[in-house]
A and B are shown apart, each in its own frame.
Chain A
């Protein structure tokens, strides 16, 4: 490369280095490579050279042009990058600012427990049945072998409503979800596998009783269902629900009008710490039994052919135990602070494969 070209390349480099923005850079580019740029002028002067020199000189100029063009483009990229950096540095935000969050919605613990029950019992082929909160006294009592003089029918336990025209049966707020047993047996041929979670009502109001509460009823009727199946079904449920595979479960002989034999079910816990699973104490958790032959017969099912079991469990009670909720009354208070504390996310629905 001849001296003048080297000098031009050097001068261009120097000029580029001093260009601090794209405008200055463009002036340099035009000054060298533009129509009347210094390099362009040299190209124009080629024609005046003798042919033998022209080729050599032309090749030299083209090499110089490539080098200078590369230098110019490199500088352009550098300047653009610097300009973007400068622009971005002016767009800085405070990343510690609190974002605008969608307020978290909540599922009530009672609903959560009902969904967990549906999932666990559902895996045993048990579906959900339901019935109205206002029942007649036959479905709530008589059909279930609770005769008219039984103390459970007393006003002190049962809420009554005025009768409707032309109906001799008394209307009651159902005191348990068991009337749905009766509805199910009358509307469906065995085999039957249902649970009935729902609202129930008793005239009792203190620290551990609410005039409205929730119960889940279970009813399994088939040929050859034994008390052993009752135990298996409830043990399977309780261990899964509480997530304790070794949860001790005890069955005690008891009495309910609608089952025979009847039994109360206890789980092992530590009375002092409230911890479930061990500790040597027993906590009564639900009532159960083989469906009484009278209940089957009242619903038109021949107890010689069909037999099965039923159980009833307080939903608040197992919810309190599972989550360590100490007090019953806030369940119905709708205190937003309590709901936020104990509520569940809508986006984590109950799923057995994710563990209930």
Chain B
């Protein structure tokens, strides 16, 4: 909200400086957004007399001027068509900063004529958009005087951010009250005299079938003369960015800002039937003051006369009954509306207005009589006329509430020791009235403009709470919330910087665990993958539905109802999907060789969220003189996956890998990793080339995804004593010829199981298929490590073990020794 310093001082009697005022505003919670001190920006600009303006000798569109600046005559080249001999204008000397253009002036020469300064337009001074030419000042403007001072623009404009709970601070008077309470002067009294009406109002109010309007006052003023408002009122409105319209409308806008009390004026001559009724809308249309048509719904509160809807209550007035320069009889509306109804109506119709902004935050319900008297008086003063008696409908709602503050709580909750007298004094300055007080506490009456204090709004308790717990908590809230409100008031007037900071008390030397095992799994997976040379990404949890559908089903339950863009509408079914898109973007930038991973959520089923570690390698290994480039393949993804699972303590021997991965993988180069028959831990493989092509990701791409939620916590068992025989292990190599369809894993498992006490390890060191073996066969070279325990093995024992291995592998896989 904007207001000028002089406007503030009509309510606040203070000697405080502008800086003190702005600092205090921020301190008490009315955050300073900015100060526009036009006297400062306009300081270099002086009033000058154009002694001579003649055609520039070398340029058709320029004029060469001799300008008396009050300190001497200078030569200025000017491009404005209205520059003429004898005029008064605004002059800027070299060195001056021109706010409208952002340029600092220098002495120049334009086509052979010196230009030692500039004559300014309003826009160049940052005063509006008028750029028809340079400012043409009246003949009596004093040469050499500062323009800002002469034009009355020396009044600083203060802009503050008002939080939604402080409807009362959306008024100059409310701001003044806070400043006075914080010690910056005194609030000037406001007690408008009652105006006795000389006739009954020919227009009356009616509230019919709506609770949106609680109370309304009105008054007719006859024989007014409407027209442009006086300069002081126009200046005041212009200074905060409002456009003056006519006196009657300007008066309503004045009170909206001055008292936070929106008013509306009807041209009584355009109101049909003598009764204005607040009632639910019935789908009728009316043209609002902004020139647009709106259809009022049953949820809206309309104001209608006999001719139809004339206004949307609390939001915007109608064009048909608006006041203009021909208005001779005016009917003033001063109403109290339900904040929520105004907010919902305004939101539905997309209408924001100063009135709506105040009504939806809640206005002072007791201010209506004073406000309409003050408005009447200003209309009589500025437009003349005779006032009618007041007319009313509804009644002042019961707004009176008390709140109690236990003095010790300011310290025990607010953290600041405040003497009881000081705390009470702060509340009284803010308009609270002491109802009762003892040594430990004070009970105050809440002033009507503070609808945020001790407001008895509805709880929304968890339905799962036991009734007695819910009831006890609700009772606690009823007791504590008003006190918190008062503590906040006492604190904010002192500024929260006054509260001493106290480190969080701890009762430990070594802190307790910070991460849950589930969170630790994420951290280990992240470090493992990064240590394997992959770059961690953070991609969006949502993506384009058509792209997501390339990877998995895209249920509607995982699709946003109101996506911000059509390419961000579907919750990703797998982390691989957004990584693949990221890889494609990188490839398009010239970086096709990548290793990326992400730890984050995936939404594979209806409404379900799992945390996954997804990784993707694409392109080739780096070119290097020492080794050939290798394309990314399924086994690279499997290696990444294996590293994570091993790092997470998964019993690797218990895993099974089957070739039944999701269809976004290459059907022959992908696998699913299970622990036990059902528990799927991960999938991996080369991406399906059709999918890769669909997202413009060329080249080999391999990926994996681990469901981190499926990984069981490793059992917290002490490790067995290690077996560290003193005898050297020995190795034997075997080459088996097997059908190419036989899984290598079956061969390794069979060998490992052949002689459990003796065999310490089995590994595959060679795999060959080609012209040296029969078609459809593959040769697998395995190395078996035999570990003797108590004595050296004899040749006969070694041969026996070898025989068992060959037999076991043959039995399990049909392999023969090559």
Q: Report which A residues bind B (CB closer than 8 A).
A: 97-98, 100, 102-108, 110-111, 115, 118-119, 121-128, 130, 132-134, 138, 142-143, 145, 147, 149, 151, 154-155, 159-162, 164, 171, 173, 182, 186, 193, 199, 201, 203-205, 211-212, 214, 220, 224, 226-233, 235-236, 250-255, 260-264, 290, 292-294, 296-305, 307, 331-337, 339-340, 343, 345-347, 349
The answer on a CB contact under 8 Å between A300 and B607 is no
Knowing A133-B601, A186-B464 touch, does A127 contact B512 (C-beta < 8 A)? yes
Residues of A within 8 A of B562 (CB): 155, 159-160, 203
Knowing A118-B515, A300-B465 touch, does A253 contact B501 (C-beta < 8 A)? no
Residue A251 contacts which of B488, B497, B542, B595 (CB distance < 8 angstroms)?
Answer: B497
Residues of A within 8 A of B519 (CB): 128, 130
Residues of A within 8 A of B508 (CB): 125
Knowing A228-B501, A336-B535, A343-B536 touch, does A121 contact B29 (C-beta < 8 A)? no
C-alpha spacing A124/B510, complex, angstroms: 10
Residues of A within 8 A of B626 (CB): 100
Asked whether B539 is an interface residue with its Cβ less than 8 Å from the other chain, the reply is yes
Min CB distance, B605 to chain A, in Å?
12
Knowing A105-B535, A296-B473, A304-B479 touch, does A212 contact B514 (C-beta < 8 A)? no
The answer on a CB contact under 8 Å between A107 and B499 is no
Q: Report which B residues bind A (CB closer than 8 A).
A: 26-29, 31, 163-166, 340, 343-344, 347, 411-416, 457-462, 464-466, 469-470, 472-477, 479-481, 484-485, 487-488, 491-492, 495-497, 499-506, 508, 511-516, 518-519, 523, 526-542, 556-565, 568, 571, 579, 582-583, 585-586, 589, 591, 594-596, 599-601, 603, 606-607, 609, 622, 624-627
Residues of A within 8 A of B532 (CB): 105
Knowing A149-B340, A228-B416 touch, does A347 contact B531 (C-beta < 8 A)? yes
The answer on a CB contact under 8 Å between A251 and B591 is no
Residues of A within 8 A of B479 (CB): 303-304
The answer on a CB contact under 8 Å between A132 and B609 is yes
The 4 closest A-B CB pairs, nearest first, are A228-B415, A253-B29, A122-B514, A255-B163
Min CB distance, B134 to chain A, in Å?
34
Knowing A227-B413, A334-B537 touch, does A103 contact B340 (C-beta < 8 A)? no
Residues of A within 8 A of B459 (CB): 294, 297-298
Residue B585 contacts which of A203, A250, A302, A334 (CB distance < 8 angstroms)?
Answer: A334
The answer on a CB contact under 8 Å between A199 and B460 is no
Knowing A173-B560, A186-B464 touch, does A254 contact B31 (C-beta < 8 A)? yes
Residues of A within 8 A of B466 (CB): 300
Residue A161 contacts which of B26, B537, B559, B589 (CB distance < 8 angstroms)?
Answer: B559
Residues of A within 8 A of B347 (CB): 151, 154
Using CB atoms, name the residue of chain B closest to A119. Answer: B514
The answer on a CB contact under 8 Å between A337 and B526 is no
Residue B462 contacts which of A260, A293, A298, A302 (CB distance < 8 angstroms)?
Answer: A298
C-alpha spacing A214/B600, complex, angstroms: 12
Min CB distance, B607 to chain A, in Å?
5
The SS class assigned to the A binding surface is mixed
Residues of A within 8 A of B340 (CB): 149
Residues of A within 8 A of B585 (CB): 333-335
Residues of A within 8 A of B416 (CB): 227-228
Residues of B within 8 A of A252 (CB): 26-27, 29, 31, 496
C-alpha spacing A162/B530, complex, angstroms: 37
The answer on a CB contact under 8 Å between B594 and A336 is yes
The answer on a CB contact under 8 Å between B343 and A149 is yes
Residues of A within 8 A of B556 (CB): 162
The answer on a CB contact under 8 Å between B501 and A108 is no
The answer on a CB contact under 8 Å between B564 and A204 is yes
The answer on a CB contact under 8 Å between A337 and B627 is no
Residues of B within 8 A of A102 (CB): 533
The answer on a CB contact under 8 Å between A227 and B460 is no
Min CB distance, A20 to chain B, in Å?
37
C-alpha spacing A303/B474, complex, angstroms: 9
The answer on a CB contact under 8 Å between A298 and B529 is no
The answer on a CB contact under 8 Å between B496 and A302 is no
Min CB distance, A142 to chain B, in Å?
4
Residues of B within 8 A of A296 (CB): 473, 476-477
The answer on a CB contact under 8 Å between A261 and B491 is yes
The answer on a CB contact under 8 Å between B414 and A226 is yes
Residues of A within 8 A of B164 (CB): 255
Knowing A107-B526, A186-B462, A199-B541 touch, does A229 contact B513 (C-beta < 8 A)? no
The answer on a CB contact under 8 Å between A297 and B557 is no
C-alpha spacing A140/B561, complex, angstroms: 17
Min CB distance, B557 to chain A, in Å?
5
The answer on a CB contact under 8 Å between B561 and A162 is yes
C-alpha spacing A229/B589, complex, angstroms: 50
C-alpha spacing A211/B466, complex, angstroms: 38
The answer on a CB contact under 8 Å between B586 and A235 is no
The answer on a CB contact under 8 Å between A293 and B503 is no
Residue A299 contacts which of B462, B511, B560, B627 (CB distance < 8 angstroms)?
Answer: B462
Residues of A within 8 A of B559 (CB): 161-162
Q: Which of A212, A227, A347 has the most CB of B within 10 A?
A: A227
Residues of B within 8 A of A115 (CB): 523
Using CB atoms, name the residue of chain A closest to B606. Answer: A164
The answer on a CB contact under 8 Å between B560 and A212 is no
The answer on a CB contact under 8 Å between B565 and A205 is yes
Residue A349 contacts which of B166, B513, B527, B568 (CB distance < 8 angstroms)?
Answer: B527
C-alpha spacing A264/B558, complex, angstroms: 35
Residues of B within 8 A of A173 (CB): 541, 560
Residues of A within 8 A of B512 (CB): 125, 127
Knowing A133-B601, A164-B557 touch, does A233 contact B413 (C-beta < 8 A)? no
The answer on a CB contact under 8 Å between A212 and B542 is yes
C-alpha spacing A152/B506, complex, angstroms: 36
Residues of B within 8 A of A294 (CB): 457, 459, 477, 481
The answer on a CB contact under 8 Å between A251 and B513 is no
The answer on a CB contact under 8 Å between A126 and B609 is no
Min CB distance, B559 to chain A, in Å?
7
Residue A297 contacts which of B476, B496, B536, B537 (CB distance < 8 angstroms)?
Answer: B476
The answer on a CB contact under 8 Å between A100 and B624 is yes
19 further A-B pairs in the complex, CB-CB below 8 A; given A160-B562, A252-B31, A260-B481? A105-B533, A106-B530, A123-B511, A126-B514, A127-B513, A128-B514, A142-B460, A199-B601, A220-B504, A226-B413, A252-B29, A253-B28, A254-B29, A255-B29, A263-B496, A292-B481, A300-B461, A332-B540, A346-B528
C-alpha spacing A346/B595, complex, angstroms: 15
The answer on a CB contact under 8 Å between B558 and A161 is yes
C-alpha spacing A190/B120, complex, angstroms: 67
Residue B526 contacts which of A111, A227, A293 (CB distance < 8 angstroms)?
Answer: A111
Residue B487 contacts which of A119, A171, A261 (CB distance < 8 angstroms)?
Answer: A261
Residue B488 contacts which of A128, A261, A335 (CB distance < 8 angstroms)?
Answer: A261
C-alpha spacing A199/B522, complex, angstroms: 15
The answer on a CB contact under 8 Å between B504 and A232 is yes
Residues of B within 8 A of A235 (CB): 501
Min CB distance, B481 to chain A, in Å?
4
The answer on a CB contact under 8 Å between B473 and A297 is yes
Residues of A within 8 A of B460 (CB): 138, 142-143, 145, 147, 298
